[in-house]
Structure 1
């Protein structure tokens, strides 16, 4: 009962003190106050000095402790304690972390603190505790403190009103652009890139010279961000957007170089990593990608970086790995390529604002103008005050005896001061007080001259300062002079290179476009070789060793393609696989190559039979108007739209349904208007229009193309020619190295599925027919034997003969050897002709002289 009465009584007493509030409004107000506190007091930099409060307080505290660059170091804990106790009432770790970052060369483009001790490293190791490390201001940081004691900036009370701290530093360094800034506030964030000091100062000078300068004109000076860890910027579009609108994107790549060890194996040496990338984490990521089989071809990776030599991450490659492909995969799957979002948000007059490049430069220049004006006013006032006192000294010295007598006769200093004021010499209280404090040595004749000289100099200074304050152009000229002094003192060269490329990552950007010879052996070993490695020889030459193959292996396919093209691989079981030319391992003429099963998911009992070179599978117009024509050994032919093969699949797709006992032999790409010719081993060939074969889907079987006589006979090749192209002739080659050219018109049209007509007179001397090609005299022919002997010759050297002849000897074949494959080469480059020889030569000897590819500088891919 008593408790109830007390409660009622307390309620009556408190009535009138309780103010009802709307909780929604209260929370909104409280949250806005909190968010503005974070935005202004913690997370965002000031546009003028580019510093957040914690960094500004650290530098100011160090300046107050007299930790200049040429003074002794002090313990970091001493500085942190000073900052916490006087200016920054937050955790000591936040202050120490900010201080450490300002001392790290890989974090700041221009360090502001000179640290001694363990301040961590780029591999992610943290700094030592603050009781172990020591700091002092870096030389460039002192330029941010210049004139702070000349009333150039406003001061405010600290958190407990016991000290005063600057609201901004009177920096001569455009810190916001030079070192950048990043921070997350409430409802907004900032991410500003570091830049080169020399470029930024040149931009400031250009702005002073022309206030109407455009951003594009400024970008001639401030080219792009410049990161402390160097690297390479790829693409400028995102940077241009950032400079124009305050928001953009920077694509940054590390730097790598390929070295060859004495053993012949290649290494990729990573010498620069992108900004803020942890080197140990990068090394671990590469190892993980290798373990997960995302990247194939890496044997070992090790971080050999140290403080003396800098970044060095060594990636050892397998002997058959393609360095350029691995490099591209590293860019694609690891932080060796990183993108940074540009978000230029800073405080302008206490409010957050998105800034473009011109805004940041103009705000800094205007701030420097304000500093120059305030400094000039301060120096003018001090000069006038000093001149006033010196004027008093001169008056006293002019009446020295009277002054001495007056002072001696005065009972107290106050009486002496009043006497001097009332003596009629025009002295005021300040001058009288200064005279009384004058030392006796200043009364000598020499000292009087010094006072007079100092007074005259002060009057000149006063006149100069008055002129400066009254002349804006003079002030901006002074700003330019000071900025150029800073450039001369601290300016350096760019660290980050700029490459003007698309933002998209394309491996083609890394690989030189050139024609290469792609060879596939009977047992499925593939490689690519620069076309210049093959010699052009006269008909009848001995040939050179084109590839070393295993016992019972031989070169079955020779194909010429650009490194940037897509290759469609068709297997004997009717499957189609995709591969870029550059993905095929590079090897010299004599190397074996790499098993094709390692490059595509090929069945163990399947093998590649045909390859088609497609310039660009992404070109919709091209793929819709082209077809793939397939033929089998048993004479089946089929036509399918190229569009059906335009969507790449790692497991491949079915291109044709092969019946039992048959195999896919050849695939050609056409535009639908060609004439098809097929040839069989027994020496017959058929010619019919492509329109006789209607397009079908990938899973179809096809229709009869040519009649095959018996079980021993089979189709050896197919060509697709244009009726209007009279420059092309039909080239046939036999097993024993005989060949000839025949005009297409000599082959009359017959019905599809017929026997055709004779194309070469097959005898024991010539051997069976092994291949048919459509060629022009501007092309070269490459012939390869089962023993690996390869010869290159001009088609123009091969005579044109009738259908029923046996042809002429193209290549001399050893006993037991025979021709395995023929292919044509577009003769786009100058190739030295080498005279053939009928004398016996050892395999690998080339008749006469050097090949065009030897003795030259290696290509980029080599």
Structure 2
């Protein structure tokens, strides 16, 4: 140890503690966390400021990325070039930022995780939205600090007009804390911010009506709302995001098509991991995966095996792959240099405070500049009023300094005014220029008065903030990309989805959709009606219900299963769209088929479910009545509605009030009519009681009607094209289980019975032949005739063709019931029957 040196003993523990705290604070404040005011970390701020200083605006030519990176490195950010270039690249990727800040030219990477080209190959410039983040930076609106070598100044924050932290989100890992903020829709954020400005005491629940949920650049579906609400209220929450998947038929094979994936998911990785899971037999039902993405957008195709159920495969993909992933919200940002956890209202509050400060400082700057200019103009006006004396005085002076002093002494001017007069050009002595001076001075006085008024009144400053926000919304606002599926969470969905009237249509081939009633625009009677759907040639709409979003649809299959769906869960389609296959919406077995639909009111209303019944009929003549209450607790894989005996299958299910009359018809031409009260209510697993006795082993039930309107007629149709319309009273009421009475004379000429319907003059019939031909006719054209007759020929069949099915559809002539009528008609839901007579045709 050299002489005179002194060793200071230090406790290593204290030294480690203070060094670590210094390091962690430096990381937190100047590297990893965004500032709550402009939503940027230092490196992002420096990249944008560097481009601003370089003059690489949105309306100038692109500049080499290496030049921009060099500028930022050399002047403001003394770190590795990759940190700056990677930041700039991310700001130019449409799948990374909801609103991109940099306009890149060249290869800036891909959603598959491909790296961008080297910075010597790519070019960039600012986007217009970035210019709005730097607007007014030269008007002393924000503080500047010295850069790393104290030679230049850089802004500590940007005077942004964009609520960037909410709009683009942020993510970063500091020491001991991290931030992960989702992006939101600019239009929604602006609306929410304006709502806060108008009422500072606004509750988060009210803000949520403006800012509904995050809005990710890659779209997708936000599945469930609880996590969103929690994040908005506390600053922390877990948001589940699903890819947007549809089921399509491609080259005769059912495929799941994905055109949007969750935010921050690498598409190539997702496909590779899915393929590995398929090879490991973790995921069944997929034969191949194709990535058909191109410049027109993303398209990942999962080709299904022949026996796979699309809905089940899709749920498996959601469960095991990144097609469903979660975003953990952690809203930590720097407030006055300290990290804080912020909820939605806090984020808006700090942005508004920042904008307020910017507006105040900008106004003060403009006022100062205006007053300085007015001061000079006052001097110039004095000079122009005494121009001859001023010229003489200047000519008599030996130099500019002497002239300036004489002017100050003679006209009591300030140093600045005198200097401006001395430097005045001769052209300013013309009359026109003097008028200009005076009018500029008068304008300036008005501006000064206005600026002082702004500084005096907070309301005016807030109005300015609102105007500028609306301007931003008009310039950059767009539609939401991420859809919200409220039903995914435990939130009361009724609170979120309006209980508006909708039209549910189901086609003969099993395609279902719902359409807002408002789409069926009101027509006066005598209108030609509207085309209700674009279906396949051999398909047509068989069932149409007017319901509301909060009601329930029950689906009954031929194996006796019941599936359950809320009306709002039925995919929405336009008036002319085909809809979705019911098989894709419910987990129905491959060899099962939906045979009946019931639309009901609230299944949580005890009075309603205890006083309404489902009555079912099977092919072998069994009937069963079960209280609707038994179907009020659904399961994903369906529940047993009836135990079906061997060689039997469910044929029909109707909703009744317990006071209807039931009619069953047999293939052999017999029909029975009995009071519904004759069948006692049974449990779901019961197999039912005899409804009608079959004539022989080959006989079977071909249809059931539940009649409430005793004035209605009964129509029966045989397979060779004969049909007959008889009065209901022709069928006497008997006991359940009898052989029935003759409903039509069955001969070789007529063939077996194939359909029974209750009809009125308002209905049309659609008759489908086994050859695929469909013929439509009006029931009003059929006269009412006796029960035991053979009937009349409804349709001429050729080449041994036979009738396959008969459906009742809504009238489609000039007297078609319009949408307003449908909405106002008693929809029969109250008394338990569906609007089965309201079916529509293409």
Q: TM-score range by the shorter chain?
A: 0.5 to 0.7
Structure 1 residue 366 corresponds to structure 2 residue 339: no
Q: Structure 1's 693 and 297: CA in aligned 2 closer, same or farther, altered over 3 A?
A: farther
In structure 1, list runs of 5 or more residues that go unmatched. 1-5, 7-12, 408-415, 520-525, 533-545, 550-554, 834-858
1:130 to 107, 119, 129: 119
In 1, Cα distance between equivalents of 2:537 and 2:479: 45
Q: How does 1:261-272 map to 2 (within 5 A)?
A: none
What corresponds to 1:716 in structure 2? 701
What corresponds to 1:601 in structure 2? 589
What corresponds to 1:492 in structure 2? 475
The range that moved more, 246-255 or 640-649, is 246-255
Note if contact 1:627-1:642 (Cα within 8 Å) is conserved in structure 2.
yes
1:780 to 735, 752, 764: 764
- 1:190-226 Cα offsets, whole Å, 9 max, x none, are 52636559x9889999999x7979799x999988899
Q: Structure 1's 474 and 449: CA in aligned 2 closer, same or farther, altered over 3 A?
A: farther
Q: Structure 1's 486 and 698: CA in aligned 2 closer, same or farther, altered over 3 A?
A: closer
Note if contact 1:518-1:528 (Cα within 8 Å) is conserved in structure 2.
no
1:349 to 336, 343, 352: 336
Q: CA deviation at 1:691?
A: 3.7
What corresponds to 2:642 in structure 1? 655
Q: CA deviation at 1:122?
A: 4.8
What corresponds to 1:472 in structure 2? 454
Note if contact 2:51-2:125 (Cα within 8 Å) is conserved in structure 1.
yes
In 2, Cα distance between equivalents of 1:22 and 1:244: 39
In 2, Cα distance between equivalents of 1:95 and 1:259: 44
Note if contact 1:117-1:134 (Cα within 8 Å) is conserved in structure 2.
yes
Q: How does 1:364-403 map to 2 (within 5 A)?
A: 364-374=355-365, 376-377=367-368
Q: CA deviation at 1:302?
A: 0.7
In 1, Cα distance between equivalents of 2:537 and 2:130: 66
Note if contact 1:633-1:665 (Cα within 8 Å) is conserved in structure 2.
yes
In 1, Cα distance between equivalents of 2:504 and 2:479: 29
SS class of match (1:189): strand
Q: Structure 1's 188 and 653: CA in aligned 2 closer, same or farther, altered over 3 A?
A: same
SS class of match (2:398): helix
Q: CA deviation at 1:821?
A: 4.0
Q: How does 1:254-265 map to 2 (within 5 A)?
A: none
Note if contact 1:152-1:170 (Cα within 8 Å) is conserved in structure 2.
yes
Q: CA deviation at 1:601?
A: 2.8
The range that moved more, 267-276 or 146-155, is 267-276
Note if contact 1:246-1:356 (Cα within 8 Å) is conserved in structure 2.
no
What corresponds to 1:856 in structure 2? none
SS class of match (1:303): coil
Q: Structure 1's 264 and 678: CA in aligned 2 closer, same or farther, altered over 3 A?
A: closer
Q: Structure 1's 371 and 250: CA in aligned 2 closer, same or farther, altered over 3 A?
A: farther
Q: How does 1:319-358 map to 2 (within 5 A)?
A: 346-351=333-338, 352=340, 353-354=342-343, 355=346, 357=348
Q: CA deviation at 1:779?
A: 3.2
What corresponds to 2:82 in structure 1? 93
Task: Choose 1 or 2 for highest CA Rg.
Answer: 1
Note if contact 1:57-1:83 (Cα within 8 Å) is conserved in structure 2.
yes
In 2, Cα distance between equivalents of 1:630 and 1:207: 56
Structure 1 residue 612 corresponds to structure 2 residue 596: yes
Note if contact 2:621-2:701 (Cα within 8 Å) is conserved in structure 1.
no
What corresponds to 2:41 in structure 1? 52
Q: Structure 1's 528 and 643: CA in aligned 2 closer, same or farther, altered over 3 A?
A: same
Q: Structure 1's 188 and 319: CA in aligned 2 closer, same or farther, altered over 3 A?
A: closer
Note if contact 2:307-2:590 (Cα within 8 Å) is conserved in structure 1.
no
Note if contact 2:672-2:738 (Cα within 8 Å) is conserved in structure 1.
yes
Q: How does 1:35-46 map to 2 (within 5 A)?
A: 36-46=25-35
1:518 to 504, 508, 511: 508
Q: CA deviation at 1:242?
A: 8.6
In 1, Cα distance between equivalents of 2:40 and 2:337: 13
In 1, Cα distance between equivalents of 2:784 and 2:327: 64
Q: Structure 1's 426 and 151: CA in aligned 2 closer, same or farther, altered over 3 A?
A: farther
Note if contact 1:215-1:243 (Cα within 8 Å) is conserved in structure 2.
no
Q: Structure 1's 793 and 182: CA in aligned 2 closer, same or farther, altered over 3 A?
A: same
In 1, Cα distance between equivalents of 2:441 and 2:669: 112
What corresponds to 1:302 in structure 2? 292
Q: CA deviation at 1:783?
A: 3.9
Note if contact 2:185-2:478 (Cα within 8 Å) is conserved in structure 1.
no
Count of residues paired in the alignment: 749
- 1:632-657 Cα offsets, whole Å, 9 max, x none, are 55544444455666645659858325
In 2, Cα distance between equivalents of 1:687 and 1:443: 111
State TM-score, norm by structure 2: 0.64
In 1, Cα distance between equivalents of 2:502 and 2:96: 35
Q: Structure 1's 331 and 231: CA in aligned 2 closer, same or farther, altered over 3 A?
A: farther
State TM-score, norm by structure 1: 0.63
Q: CA RMSD in A?
A: 6.9
Structure 1 residue 728 corresponds to structure 2 residue 715: no
Q: CA deviation at 1:612?
A: 1.5
What corresponds to 2:829 in structure 1? none
SS class of match (1:156): strand
Note if contact 1:260-1:266 (Cα within 8 Å) is conserved in structure 2.
yes
In 1, Cα distance between equivalents of 2:722 and 2:404: 129
Note if contact 1:215-1:244 (Cα within 8 Å) is conserved in structure 2.
no
- 1:557-595 Cα offsets, whole Å, 9 max, x none, are 996466998574544xx5537598989x99x9xxxx999
SS class of match (2:357): helix
- 1:617-639 Cα offsets, whole Å, 9 max, x none, are 98345665554545555544444
What corresponds to 1:167 in structure 2? 156
Q: CA deviation at 1:98?
A: 1.6
Q: Structure 1's 329 and 496: CA in aligned 2 closer, same or farther, altered over 3 A?
A: farther
In 2, Cα distance between equivalents of 1:177 and 1:702: 60
Note if contact 1:226-1:496 (Cα within 8 Å) is conserved in structure 2.
no
1:191 to 144, 166, 181: 181
What corresponds to 1:311 in structure 2? 297
Structure 1 residue 404 corresponds to structure 2 residue 398: yes
Q: CA deviation at 1:799?
A: 3.5
In 2, Cα distance between equivalents of 1:578 and 1:697: 17
Q: Structure 1's 254 and 828: CA in aligned 2 closer, same or farther, altered over 3 A?
A: farther
In 2, Cα distance between equivalents of 1:547 and 1:371: 64
SS class of match (1:369): helix
Q: Structure 1's 331 and 71: CA in aligned 2 closer, same or farther, altered over 3 A?
A: same
What corresponds to 2:529 in structure 1? none
SS class of match (2:709): coil
Structure 1 residue 118 corresponds to structure 2 residue 107: yes
Q: CA deviation at 1:771?
A: 4.3
Q: Structure 1's 284 and 455: CA in aligned 2 closer, same or farther, altered over 3 A?
A: same
What corresponds to 2:820 in structure 1? none
Q: How does 1:513-592 map to 2 (within 5 A)?
A: 513-518=503-508, 560=543, 568-571=555-558, 574-576=559-561, 578=563
In 2, Cα distance between equivalents of 1:475 and 1:529: 55
- 1:700-743 Cα offsets, whole Å, 9 max, x none, are 4544444445455x343453544x63123343344544443444
Q: Structure 1's 561 and 337: CA in aligned 2 closer, same or farther, altered over 3 A?
A: farther
1:807 to 791, 796, 807: 791
SS class of match (1:800): coil
Q: CA deviation at 1:160?
A: 6.2
- 1:266-307 Cα offsets, whole Å, 9 max, x none, are 9999988887666666777998999988888999551121xx
Note if contact 2:663-2:704 (Cα within 8 Å) is conserved in structure 1.
yes
What corresponds to 2:836 in structure 1? none
